[in-house]
Amino acid sequence: MLPSTELRSIAMATILDKILTVKAKEVATARRHRDLSSIRRDAEAAMQDSAMRTRDFVGAIRKKINVGSSAVIAEIKKASPSKGVIREPFLPAEIAESYQQGGAACLSVLTDKHFFQGSPAYLQAARTVCNLPVLRKDFIIDIYQVYEARVMMADAILLIAAALEPARMRDLNALALELGMAVIVEVHNHHELNTGITLNTTLIGINNRNLHNFDVSLNTTLNLLGMIPEDRIVVTESGILSRQDVQCMRTANVHTFLVGEAFMRSPVPGDALAQLFEMPR
């Protein structure tokens, strides 16, 4: 019988493979419903429409850091594959307003439907009621999704190194920047970081959740810091649960955080954010 850690590793690999397989099918279906040239035209038109201008995602983060504050990318997430529904009722616009009042720098909104019960409509609803830049949180594997993100008025996208070949990741990153969106390149280990730092992007996300055994350790971020050029902004993700965790990161000169699930379980997400990060109210 395999040790429990190996069993969990197999389970995670299976989940990630399943997600990427489903995502590829979703993209193929979307392309049949609406071809690439059509979605590209709308994305390019959005760039010329002042009402659809992107918000400065990186600038919003820098603004917080420059005044000595934590820059929090606050996540709006209804459910996860492992824990099911996290928040019910789920009102993205109300959550977005609460986050803005709580001092968030930016928002992250899950748009994956199959595994996270997300929706592009949630991103649009959240963005409409506040002035915060918004990240489309999804499994981006195809240029179609990058154009799609621009059309749904995302200000940034996430590229997960574990899910992409380096050449594909570079192409997706370049297209996002061309369309006026920021990119967070998410890495989990030294190998992925070696690729991530070759991309022309400011934001390097480090996920403290080990994709092989489910463990969460802030040491994942701490151990990778020495490899990251000084001109990049590190975004630490997962495992930030206490003020001690926040202080640990800030002492290491990491001031940008992507946090969601802990806030989603709070009656008032923005209050939970303000309390955890000691934001002025």
What torsion do the CA atoms of 59, 60, 61, 64 make, to the nearest 10 degrees? 120
Look at residue 275 in the predicted model and tell me its pLDDT: 97
What residues contact 184, with CB distance under 8 A and at least 6 apart? 135, 156, 157, 158, 159, 201, 203, 204, 205, 235, 258
Give the N- to C-terminal CA distance of the chain in Å, as an integer.
Answer: 54
Total count of domains within the chain: 1
pLDDT for residue 16: 77
- Give the H or E element holding residue 135: strand 134-137
Residue 58 belongs to domain spanning: 4-277
Instruction: Report how far residue 271's alpha carbon sits from residue 281's, in angstroms, rounded to the nearest whole number.
Output: 9
Query: Which tens digit of pLDDT belongs to each residue from 205-245?
Result: 999 987 555 678 999 999 999 999 999 999 999 999 999 99
CATH code for position 169: 3.20.20.70
pTM (two decimals): 0.93
At 280 the pLDDT is: 74
- Which residues, other chains included, contact 110 with Cβ-Cβ below 8 Å and sequence gap of 6+? 75, 76, 77, 78, 116, 117, 118, 122, 137, 138
Cβ 92 vs Cβ 152: under 8 Å:
no
* pLDDT average per 10 residues of sequence, the chain (281 residues): 42 73 96 96 95 96 98 96 87 98 98 95 98 98 98 97 96 98 96 96 92 78 96 96 96 96 93 94 61
Residue-level pLDDT at 213: 58
What does residue 207 show for φ and ψ, rounded to 5 degrees? -90, 120
Angle at 36 between CA 93 and CA 22, to 5 degrees: 65
Please give the Cα distance from 270 to 281 (Å, whole number): 10
**What is the pLDDT at residue 266?**
94
The per-residue pLDDT for 249 is 97
pLDDT at 80: 85
The tens digit of pLDDT for each residue in 64-80 reads 999 999 999 999 999 98
pLDDT of res. 190: 95
What CA–CA distance (Å, rounded) separates 257 from 273? 11
The answer to whether the Cα torsion of 202, 208, 211, 212 is positive or negative is positive
pLDDT at 102: 97
